[in-house]
Amino acid sequence: MALCFFTRRLHFKHPHLFLPLLLHLFPSSPSIPSHSLLAYHLSGAFHQTLSLPSRSSLLSVSFSTLQPFPAQNLNDPIDFHDGSFHFDDPEVPGLLQFLELLNKVAHFSSEAEAIAFLDESGIQANKNLVSSAIWALREEWRPAFFAFKWGHKWNCNDEKVCNLMIWVFGSHKKFSSAWCLIRDMHRSSLCTRRAMLIMIDRYASANNSAKAIQTFHFMEKFRLTPNQVAFHALLTALCKNGNIEEAEEFMLVNKKLFPLETEGFNIILNGWCNTSVDVYEAKRVWREMSKYCITPNATSYSYMISCFSKTGNLFDSLRLYDEMKKRDWVPGMEVYNSLVYVLTRENCLKEALNIIDKLKEKGLRPDSATFNSMIRPLCEARKPLEARVILKTMVEENLSPTAETYHAFLEVTDYQGTLEFLSRMKNADVGPNGDSFLIILKKFMKLEQPVNGLKMWTDMKQYEVVPTRVHYSIMVEGLARCKWFMKAREIYEEMIANGFLEDPKLKKLLQEEVLDRFDKQKKQVKKAINDKSLSRKKSSNINWRNH
C-alpha cells in the first residue's frame, strides 16, 4: 500500500525518475511472480544488477529536494557485535542441531524440499535462532539463505535479520540477491537505511568502488537523500577496503555539496596511515589539508604518528608528538601506544618503559594495548624471552592479557609453548577462537611440521572451535605440500561431508598428486622393464662367450 502511494507520487512529481526506479527496484521478468523472485534468483537464472553510469556522473552528486537522510543510528553498517544484535551466542537453544540440518539441506536441489525438511525436524523457529544460524554460517551463503527463508516462513525475519542476510549475500558477491531482498524490505515498509550502507560497504569490500558510489546515489530512490553522515560512511567503506584514491577523488569532486572539513580528511588520512600504511601518501594528504586551510586535530596527529610508528620512523613519530603538544592537542593513549611500539621496535625498550612511567606520573593508566605494543614487536623480532618479561610485568600491573597478546606469542612459540598459551587463553576466557588456530595451523604448515599441525587440528575440537573453510584449506594445502596426500584427501573429504562446497584449487592440488603418483608408477614400470631387458642382454652375451 505504502509502496503504491510512493510510486504514484513519484510518477506525478518526477516522471523522468519513474521508469528507472521500476527497473532498479523490480528488476524481474514479467513471467515470474514477485513473491518467488528471491527463490528464482537463487537458481542462478536472475543475474541483473545496477547498471553503471559514466565515471563523471559517479564522481559528481546531484540531489533533488527529497527528505534528508536521518543521522541517527548510523554506526558501522556491519557492526554486528554491538549490543543490539546478539548474533554470536553459542548457547541459543537448538542452534547446534539447526546448524547440522542446514548443512545437510545445503545440498538439496529444491528450496521447497529444504524448507519442508526443516519443518519436519521439529525445531521451533524464533528470531534469535534464525539470526544466530545465519551468523554462524556466514561463510557459506547457501545454508545461511535456507535459514533465512525458513525464518521468513515463520515470520522471524525483522529488519536486523534482513540486514544480516544482505551482508552475507554481499560478502559472497551475490549482489542481485541482496538487491532483491532490499526491494522486499521496501515493499514491507522496513527501513532500508542500514541495508543501503551495507551494500556500499560490501561493494567496496569486493573492490567495486564504482558500484559503491552508485549505491550512494541510488539512496535517493528510497527517499533517503545522502547527507554528510552517509557521505562519510561511503568514504570510510572505500578507505578501509583499500580504495583510498577513489575516496579522496570523490571527496574533492563533491566539495561544493559537502564542504571540505577535518573529519573527511581524517577518513582519507586513516586510509593511508592504517589501511595502506603508505607514509608518502599520508604526507601528501597532510600537505593537502594545509593547502585547503584545513587544520589538523588530535585525531589527525594520532593517525600520522601511528603511520610513522608502524614503519619504524622513530624521528618523525617523536617530532609530530612534540608538535602536537605545542599546538595544545592532548595526546591520547593511542599516541602513547604508538610511541611505545616504535621505541620497542627500534630496540629502545628502556625508553618505551620510561614512557609508561611518565604516563603514571601524569595520572594516566597504561592499558593492555600499551603492553601489547611492546609484546608484539618483540615477538615479531623473534625475542620471545623478552616478550615474556613484559607479559609478566603486564600481569603484575593487574592488566589482563587479551587475545592479541596471546596471538603474538602463538606466532613464534614452539609446540610446547603453543599448548601453554592455548591453556592460558582458555583460563583467561579470551579464547582460543578460530583466529587462534588459523595462526597456529599456518605456522606449523609453513615450518613443514605436519605432525604438530595435525595435533593442533585435533585439539581444535577439544577447545570447541568449529573449523571453517579457511581452516580446512590451510590443512589440505599444507599437508599436500608436505607430501601427506592421504591425510590431505581425508581432511578434504571431511570438509565436503560437513557441508562445505568443493574447492577447485584444493581439488586440483589433490589431482596433481594422483597424476604425479601415476607418472612415478609408469617410470618404475619402465625402469623395471629396462632393467629386465638389460639383464637378459648381459645373460645372452655371457652365454655367447662361453660357446
Question: Of 36-45, 383-392, 404-413, where does mean pLDDT reach its minimum?
Answer: 36-45
Measured distance CA(492)–CA(355) in Å, rounded: 50
First to last CA, the chain: 111
Least confident segment among 284-288, 372-376, 396-400: 396-400
Q: Is 269 exposed, middle or buried (0-12, 13-18, 19+ CB in 10 A)?
A: buried
* Tens of pLDDT, residues 52-105: 334 334 444 433 333 333 333 334 445 554 444 555 555 667 788 888 888 888
Going from the C-alpha of 248 to that of each of 243, 265, 285, 383, 462, the distances in angstroms are 9, 8, 9, 40, 48
Give dist(CA 394, CA 371) in Å, integer.
6
Q: What are the strands, taking DSSP E only, across 449-498?
A: none
Q: DSSP letters along 270-314, please?
A: HIIIIIS--HHHHHHHHHHHHHTTPPP-HHHHHHHHHHHHHTT-H
pLDDT over 80 at 528, yes or no: no
* pTM for the full predicted model: 0.71
Residue 268: half-sphere exposure toward Cβ, Cα within 13 Å: 24
Which span out of 153-157, 186-190, 376-380, 459-463 was modeled with the highest average pLDDT?
Answer: 376-380
214-256 pLDDT, tens digit each: 998 888 666 666 678 889 999 999 999 999 999 999 999 999 8
pLDDT at 122: 78
| β-bridge mates for residue 225, sequence order | 68
Cα–chain center distance at 373: 23
DSSP state string for 155-221: T---HHHHHHHHHHHHHTT-HHHHHHHHHHHHHTT---HHHHHHHHHHHHHTT-HHHHHHHHHHGGG
Rounded to 5°, angle at Cα 237 from 235 and 238: 65
SS3 for 308-319, per residue?
Answer: HHHCCCHHHHHH
Q: For residue 444, what are the β-bridge partners? A: none
**Rounded Cα gap, residues 262 and 137, in angstroms:** 40
What is residue 262's predicted lDDT score, i.e. its pLDDT?
A: 94
pLDDT tens digit string along 304-316? Answer: 999 999 999 999 9
393 contacts: CB under 8 Å, gap ≥ 6: 371
Exposed e or buried b for every residue in 177-193, given b needs 16+ CB within 10 A? bbbbbbbbbbeeebbbb
Euclidean distance between CA atoms 102 and 121, whole angstroms: 11
CA distance 230 to 69: 8
Residue 12 has pLDDT above 50, yes or no: no
